[in-house]
Amino acid sequence: MATTNISVGSQVWVEDSEKAWIDAEVLEIDGNKVKARTSTGKVAVSLISNVHAKDTDAQPGGVDDMTKLAYLHEPGLLHNLASRYELDEIYTYTGNILIAVNPFAKLPHLYDVHMMEQYRGAPLGELSPHVFAVADSAYRAMVNENRSQSILVSGESGAGKTETTKLIMQYLAYMGGRAATDGRTVEQQVLESNPLLEAFGNAKTVRNDNSSRFGKFVEIQFDRSGRISGAAVRTYLLERSRVVQVSDPERNYHCFYQLCASPEDVERYKLGEAHTFHYLNQSNCYELNGVNSSREYTKTRRAMEIVGISPDEQEAIFRVVASILHLGNIEFVPGKETDSSKPKDEKANFHLQVAADLLKCDAKGLQDSLCTRIITTRDESIKVSLDPTSATVNRDTLAKTIYSRLFDWLVEKVNKSIGQDPDSTTLVGVLDIYGFESFKTNR
């Protein structure tokens, strides 16, 4: 334990409300409490278990592999990352794990062909830490051992996971000979599907305006000679709850706002502005800085064309998206019978009818499916009325289920457009996993 090295006069790290950790000098130790003067001149009193020894011999610019640090505790790791970040070194190893700190800036010189050539065949750790080194290591292991490999990309929203995944695919395409299908490389086909998956699977969170709210496993398939022969996108854990429940200042999925910004389709699907829909107006955020929803809608349509979604299928997709918005505006009040419910008023009936028309089903049948449930016994089926609260839960469940199935269908279309290699025996899988945000309350 680092605490065994602490005595009066020791250089240590103590907790700080602003910087998380701050360096200090121990003034006094009283039982399990430590009094220390921080580098800002303040005196802090901490439990000895929350005080960590500082390496006074640490290199000013940090180390490129944190297994070299004298102390592997939180403040030591964070200080090393911060020291490297100040020198524009955004990558650091911890053994064979690569830690990336988002520079929030374009660094094209780090990812050009010259840089890929440098890392080609270089053993992991021989050159400066880099995402290409990890990708090369996976590719080499796959070729040399004839075994599939996986790369896990994890982190908080806005950390740069999706961009890192793209860079890994870029390197694998460079190493895999950029095998082309119909004039477009597999890498291009995967990347061209991104706008479509982002429109339906990404949303604004507190920390990121374009956060993936689903997990994505991209399989890059190779033939026996190590050339890319196919690919597939596997998705999982779509955040279905976001469809019906949004916390301020976050937003629902991008596709809803894009559709509401399309003058032509607003009229076609009897929509209004985003703030008129319950599934969107639970938050006061409707626009994103520097983003034009109408233009993004055009880009989404273009992405659909690229992956082979026909005009009729596109129309059906946005008909379903519009129906979900209308479903959310169907409010319920008590019906004539005990514990029964019905649409609240003419406005609710309007949205019920439009939702039914868009889903191409009977409005009365849709109302019954929301306001009742069927209990099946051994001898018969009994229709039971639902109160307004239960009907609302039914409505939200239907909306989430429809959206989830639409998303799955879109992914299937993406995979058909990319093309999988049924004869491939090896692949490199890149897992882009979300969900590591830390909040006081997690809904």
| Beta carbons within 10 angstroms of residue 250's beta carbon | 19
Contacts of residue 393, Cβ cutoff 8 Å, sequence gap at least 6: none
Catalytic residues: 157-158, 162, 208, 211-212, 435, 437
Long-range contacts of 146-152 (CB under 8 A, 24+ apart): 146/425, 146/426, 147/426, 148/426, 148/427, 148/428, 148/429, 149/427, 149/428, 149/429, 150/428, 150/429, 150/430, 150/431, 151/428, 151/429, 151/430, 151/431, 152/431, 152/433
Q: Residue-wise over 23-36: b if at least 16 C-beta within 10 A, else e?
A: bbebeebeeeebbb
Cite the DSSP H helix spans in 146-250: 161-175, 186-192, 194-201
Task: List all residues 6 or more positions away from 233 whose beta carbon is below 8 Å from its beta carbon.
Answer: 190, 193, 197, 216, 217, 218, 219, 411, 414, 415, 418
Cα distance between residue 255 and residue 322, in whole Å = 10
Are 261 and 297 within 8 A, CB to CB?
yes
